[in-house]
Structure 1
Amino acid sequence: MELNNDTQIPEFVLLGFSGDPELQLLISGLFLSMYLITVCGNLLLILAVSSDSHLHTPMYFFLATLSFVDICLTSTTIPKMLWNIQTQSKVITYDGCITQIYFFLLFAGLDDFLLTGMAYDRFVAICHPLHYTVIMNPQLCGLLVLVSWMMSALHSLLESLMMLQLTFCRQVEISHFFCEINQVVRLACSDTFLNDMVMYFAAVLLAGEFILLGFSEESELQPLVFGLFLSMYLITVCGNLLLILAVSSDSHLHTPMYFFLGNLSFLDICFTSTTIPKMLWNIQTQSKVITYDGCITQIYFFLLFAGLDNFLLTVMAYDRFVA
Structure 2
Amino acid sequence: MKLVYLKTKSTFKYLLLILFIFVILNKQAKTLENKILIKVNNEIITTLDISNEIAYLAILNKELLKLEKNQIIEIAKNNLIRNKIKKKELLKYTNEIKIDKNYLKKLVEDTYKPIGFKETNEFILFLEKNGINLKYIENKITINENWRQFVYLKYKNQIKINKEQVIQDVTNEKNKYFQLSEILFDLNNSNLEKKFNLISENIKLNGFKNTALLFSVSDSSDQGGELGWISGKSISKNILNELNNIKVGDFTNPIRTPGGFLILKINDIKEEIKKEDNINNEVDKIINLKINNQLKQFSNLYLKKLEKDSIINEL
Question: What TM-score, normalized by structure 2, do the two folds share?
Answer: 0.28
Q: Which has the higher strand share?
A: 2
Which structure: greater helix fraction? 1
Q: Considering only CA atoms, is the larger Rg found in Structure 1 or Structure 2?
A: 1
Give the structure, 1 or 2, with the largest relative contact order (CA under 8 Å, sep 6 or more).
2
TM-score, length-scaled by structure 1: 0.28
